[in-house]
Structure 1
Amino acid sequence: MDIEVSGIDLGKTVCSLAGLDATGAVIYRKRFQRHRLLDFLESLRPCVVAMEACGGAHHIGRF
């Protein structure tokens, strides 16, 4: 997977992800429980991560 941008909506307990390639086409859409999100992101090669967050999501953003 050649993901250029990972878009994340950090919800209260479930996070929605969308991965985009260089042309902006959606490669994947997934939902993770918040505690499993970092494990998935570690498996990706470096890319831009764009987050839409709720008020308490700043903790995840630091990682």
Structure 2
Amino acid sequence: MSAQIIRFGIDIGKKLMVVHGVDCHEKTVLKKNFTRSKLLEYFSNLTQCEIGIESCGGSHFWARKLTEMGHEVRLISAKYVIPYRRKGKNDANDAEAICEAIG
């Protein structure tokens, strides 16, 4: 990884979580799909960062887990994410919009 990622947006799915990360210059550094177990493993190896998750039924579980690892987690309502989505609705675009919305 060439740049320090300072902010993430996570779109939670049933099987896969889509993660979008940006560096301090707001440049996209990471776009990746993770399974549930791999997501926790990935974030456990990172220094403290800001993580945005769209509010839903499972978001509180993930927020607790990530907060226990020392990350700052912000839950954001879907109505505040929609204006930041530049393209069609899919998991990757939602993760990018979440990342931008909390910035």
Q: Same fold (TM over 0.5)?
A: yes
Distance (Å, rounded) in 2 between the aligned partners of 1:16 and 1:39 = 14
SS of aligned partner of 2:5: coil
TM-score, length of structure 1 as denominator length:
0.85
Where does residue 44 of structure 1 map in the other structure?
Answer: 46
- Relative CO higher for 1 or 2, CA cutoff 8 Å, sep ≥ 6? 1
Query: Once superposed, what is the RMSD of the aligned Cα atoms?
Result: 1.3
Point out the structure with max Rg over C-alpha: 2
Deviation of the 1:32 alpha carbon: 0.5
TM-score, length of structure 2 as denominator length:
0.55
Any gaps of 5 or more consecutive residues in structure 2? 66-103
Q: How many pairs are equivalent?
A: 63
Check 1:13–1:57 CA distance in 2 against 1; reply closer, same or farther (3 A cut).
farther
